[in-house]
């Protein structure tokens, strides 16, 4: 996934995914502490510094800039605008992509999380988590094959997170429900359309500190 997104950004370009630098420092300080955040700020003043090498932010998928709103009727947080992806583990991405994120709870209080983002019509990803079940599907057939091959469905123990391959139908179902419930958009979403809000022009240049 990381290599795929990096390739799209290099070829087509994308807005930076980490948002305002001052706001980013506050977010980082909440995670790694003020002293380490100060060190990050000092190093950033000399050039771009990826969040990938930092243990606390070197997660499978780190979102650094998402505008979440609260829906009273749906009792859920939902995203508005582009989703800013910082990194995947140590692999720097730093891109803002068209997408939809939803965070809520079931009636029993269990967490529910859904996210879809699209870097290009050939590069999009969906993850859905509910009832300890993680659903994954994307345009990346290599990733889909890996999930299908490594799924622990049928052998997971009680309490384990079960990860399973999803489908294009499930991906579209989430997107169309999201758009209808939170924005009143009834027109079906097209995965093949170019993402909205992408800046065209020169591809993003690789910085020697990017962690590519």
Contact partners, residue 7, CB within 8 Å, separation at least 6? none
> What is the pTM (predicted TM-score) of this model?
0.88
Confidence band for 100, pLDDT divided at 50, 70 and 90: very high
Position 47 scores a pLDDT of 95
Please report which confidence band the pLDDT of residue 154 belongs to, taking 50, 70 and 90 as the band edges: confident
- Measure the CA–CA gap between 203 and 196, rounded to whole angstroms: 17
pLDDT at 196: 67
CA 96 → CA 14, 28, 44, 154, 179, distances in Å?
A: 6, 18, 20, 36, 19
Render pLDDT for 7-36 as a digit per residue (tens, 0 to 9): 999 999 999 999 999 999 999 999 999 999
- pLDDT by residue (tens digit) across 192-202? 998 764 543 34
For the chain, the domains span 2-183
């Amino acid at each position: 996934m990381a290599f795929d997104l990096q390739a799209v950004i290099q070829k087509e370009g994308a807005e930076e995914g980490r948002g305002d630098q001052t706001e980013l420092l506050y977010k980082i300080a909440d995670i790694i502490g003020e002293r380490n955040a100060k060190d990050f700020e000092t190093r950033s003043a000399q050039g771009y510094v990826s969040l990938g090498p930092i243990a606390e932010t070197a997660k499978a998928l780190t979102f650094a800039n998402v505008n979440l709103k609260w829906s009273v009727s749906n009792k859920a947080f939902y995203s508005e605008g582009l989703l800013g992806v910082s990194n995947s583990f140590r692999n720097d991405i730093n891109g803002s992509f068209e997408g939809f994120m939803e965070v809520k709870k079931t009636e029993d209080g269990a967490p529910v999380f859904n996210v879809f983002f699209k870097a290009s019509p050939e590069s999009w990803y969906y993850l859905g988590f509910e009832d300890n079940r993680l659903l994954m599907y994307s345009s990346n057939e290599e990733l889909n094959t890996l999930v299908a091959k490594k799924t622990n469905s049928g052998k997971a123990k009680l309490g384990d997170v079960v990860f399973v391959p999803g489908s294009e139908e499930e991906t579209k179902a989430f997107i169309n429900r999201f758009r209808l419930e939170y924005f009143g958009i009834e027109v079906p979403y097209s995965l093949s359309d170019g993402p909205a809000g992408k800046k065209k022009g020169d591809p993003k240049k690789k910085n020697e500190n990017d962690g590519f």
